[in-house]
């Protein structure tokens, strides 16, 4: 039997000390709630269910005083507000006589049970004795899902994800929204998107609260408004009504109308209407208003104001107008910090009650420098790394882990009040949800206790607590497939070589460093990684879906290697090569459609499959 110090827990707790002996699990014992019984009873039921699912034993629930509980076997869950335990913290003690969980608040009791549930998952019949003392580094530990770049999950998918993340002590969830809430007076904006309805949000908010997760409203309010501004009804609000050319990393792209005109009062009027409808569905007192990547501001209708007052001042004035709206709705405003950090002289002018979201998704992002700037100003801030899953096919594991370690470590150093792990869906949201599990796990662990978790690659934890794979294959597979792209060659930021090869036009320049030999090596590595997939035994209802998702991701990666090789060898135009590639792409596209519908609503699928349809038409010459 493993000692309590050797058990695989996600997150690894702050302190675990082995004790003598063990506690044998058997039926007929009790789970006793002491303190606020109304708050503890749902938590005790969660433990009871876990005992049955993992050990096939049933314990009864009751409330009681000091004469009941651990001394007679079973488990005691006790609230002790004056016991010196930090907020959200707990103490879990196991002896030969029973199990005791003591917490200062209900959230801490929930997290103590979450740790015990993970122990039950890997101990058969006997729990090792010892004591765990645990509490979080950051009070807010969040995940943000992009539901605007094509993929709107079903409620079932969201419920399952909340169960998974809350078991890892995540307590903050956002659904990134541009146009995917069903605003009653703006049907044309979301008509093709299968949006979240008001009832959906009410149900999800209640589900989250039961699991100590705060569902925080999110509506971008400045940039990223192209889904609105391309429509005739809203085009008059655009900074640049006819669109503009955007150059990033040396590549120029024609962009649609993108940002609201910050000098037009009607922009604020639109936001007031949206906030008035959206916010009553959420119990959270926070609100993420976005306001990032306002690339076109100052280049169109606000050019004169920017020329007179400066870009930073025009941005801040609009942000302050948004802040006044948010205050009227009784919420605390969160916003992305990428624009304001470019004007550090204005940071001290931010209201004291805003929270800046300092984001960056590469391993070397300057969280240290930017965190120090916000700390000097006294403005509260989150650090916001990412899962590195988007524009990748199967992730960028090494970059993700380094990015999250960088964010959590420097966030802790400079006093950040939270960590938000972002999971974006750029360019069709072609990655599948389990590709993001390593990033979610790293974010959960490193935001809970950076020191105890900073050396982990989370492979064993993923096997046990994400994939629940008895063969211990999926943790390694997900990690290694996420790094296989490196064999093909270096990529630009927020992408991989293989994703670029899959999506670029056949006459475009290939990424630097890509050769026939590097693509051949990548093919071999991908094949060896994915080989054991069919042997996995995942104890999950969606085990078959997960296997098929990773299989199709590998197909995409292998196809990208073959496509790139054909481009390098000059055979991409041959009839035989096109027939081969078209056959592969039909399989990829068909599987992508099927797998999309397993977790998501139909809206957005047409956007996502466009990448694959373009390749198929290219190969068929249509």
Rg (CA), the chain: 25
Cα 248 to Cα 501: distance, rounded to the nearest angstrom: 18
Catalytic member of 174, 178, 214, 293: 293
The separation between the first and the last C-alpha atoms of the chain, rounded to the nearest angstrom, is 63
Cα 465 to Cα 458: distance, rounded to the nearest angstrom: 10
The CA–CA distances, whole Å, from 150 to 50, 146, 231, 406, 622 equal 35, 9, 18, 29, 25
Cα 191 to Cα 275: distance, rounded to the nearest angstrom: 19
Cα 134 to Cα 32: distance, rounded to the nearest angstrom: 21
Assign 141 to helix, strand or coil: strand
Cα 209 to Cα 173: distance, rounded to the nearest angstrom: 11
Phi/psi for 281 (5° steps) reads -80, -10
Phi/psi for 460 (5° steps) reads -65, -40
Active-site residue flag, 293? yes
How many Cβ atoms are within 10 Å of 469's Cβ, its own excluded? 23
The CA–CA distances, whole Å, from 20 to 116, 162, 412, 488 equal 18, 36, 35, 52
How many Cβ atoms are within 10 Å of 535's Cβ, its own excluded? 9
Cα 592 to Cα 597: distance, rounded to the nearest angstrom: 9
Helix spans in 56-129 (H)? 106-122
Cα 485 to Cα 492: distance, rounded to the nearest angstrom: 12
Q: Which of 163, 226, 142 is nearest to 189 (CA)?
A: 226
Residue with tokens 């930090």: 86
The residues that are catalytic are: 293
């Amino acid at each position: 039997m493993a000692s309590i110090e050797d058990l695989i827990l996600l997150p690894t707790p702050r302190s675990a000390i082995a004790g003598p002996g063990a506690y044998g699990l058997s039926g007929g014992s009790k789970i006793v709630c002491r303190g606020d019984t109304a708050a503890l009873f749902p938590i005790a039921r969660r433990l009871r269910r876990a005992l049955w699912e993992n050990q096939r034993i049933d314990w009864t629930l009751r409330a009681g005083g000091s004469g009941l509980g651990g001394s007679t076997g079973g488990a005691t869950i006790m609230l002790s507000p004056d016991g010196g335990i930090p907020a959200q913290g707990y103490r879990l003690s196991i002896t030969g006589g029973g199990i005791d969980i003591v917490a200062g608040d209900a959230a801490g009791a929930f997290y103590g049970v979450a740790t015990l549930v993970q122990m039950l998952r890997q101990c058969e019949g006997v729990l090792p004795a010892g004591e765990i003392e645990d509490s979080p580094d950051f009070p807010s530990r969040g995940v943000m899902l992009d539901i605007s770049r094509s993929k709107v999950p079903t409620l079932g998918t969201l419920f399952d994800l909340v169960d998974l993340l809350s078991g890892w002590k995540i307590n903050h969830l956002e659904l990134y929204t541009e146009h995917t809430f069903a605003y009653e007076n703006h049907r044309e904006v979301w008509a093709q998107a299968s949006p979240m309805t008001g009832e959906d949000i009410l149900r999800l908010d209640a589900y989250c609260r039961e699991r100590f997760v705060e569902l925080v409203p999110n509506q971008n309010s400045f940039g990223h408004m192209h889904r609105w501004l391309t429509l005739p009804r809203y085009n008059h609000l655009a900074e640049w009504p006819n669109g503009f050319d955007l150059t990033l990393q040396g590549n120029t792209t024609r962009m649609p109308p993108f940002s609201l005109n910050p000098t037009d009062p009607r922009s604020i009027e639109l936001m007031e209407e949206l906030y008035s409808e959206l916010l009553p569905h959420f119990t959270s007192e926070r609100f993420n208003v976005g306001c990032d990547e306002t690339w076109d501001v100052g280049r169109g209708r606000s050019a004169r104001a920017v020329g007179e007052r400066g870009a930073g001042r025009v941005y801040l004035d609009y942000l302050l107008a948004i802040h006044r709206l948010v205050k009227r709705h009784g919420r605390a405003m969160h916003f992305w910090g990428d624009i304001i950090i470019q004007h550090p002289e204005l940071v001290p002018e931010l209201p004291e009650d805003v929270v800046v979201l300092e984001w960056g998704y590469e391993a070397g992002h300057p969280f240290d420098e930017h965190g120090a700037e916000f700390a000097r100003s006294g403005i509260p801030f989150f650090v916001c790394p990412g899962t590195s899953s988007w524009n990748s096919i199967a992730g960028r594991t090494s970059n993700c882990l380094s990015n999250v370690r960088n964010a959590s470590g420097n966030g802790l150093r400079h006093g950040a009040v939270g960590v938000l792990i972002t999971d974006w869906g750029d360019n069709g949201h072609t990655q599948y949800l389990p590709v993001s599990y390593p990033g979610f796990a790293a974010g959960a662990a490193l935001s809970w206790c950076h020191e105890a978790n900073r050396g982990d690659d989370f492979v064993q934890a993923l096997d046990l607590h994400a994939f629940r794979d008895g063969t211990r294959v999926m943790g390694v597979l997900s990690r290694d497939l996420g790094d296989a792209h490196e064999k093909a060659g270096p990529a630009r930021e927020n992408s991989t070589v293989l994703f670029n090869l899959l999506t670029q036009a056949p006459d475009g320049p290939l990424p630097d460093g890509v050769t026939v030999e590097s693509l051949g090596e990548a093919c071999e590595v991908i094949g060896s990684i994915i080989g054991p997939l069919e042997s996995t035994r995942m104890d999950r209802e969606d085990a078959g879906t997960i296997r098929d998702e990773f299989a199709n991701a590998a197909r995409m990666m292998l196809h990208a290697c073959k496509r790139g090789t054909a481009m390098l060898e000059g055979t991409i135009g041959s009839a035989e090569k096109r027939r081969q590639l078209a056959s592969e792409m039909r399989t990829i596209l068909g599987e992508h459609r099927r797998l999309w519908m397993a977790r998501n609503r139909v809206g957005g699928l047409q956007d996502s499959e466009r990448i694959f349809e373009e390749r198929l038409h290219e190969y068929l010459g249509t």
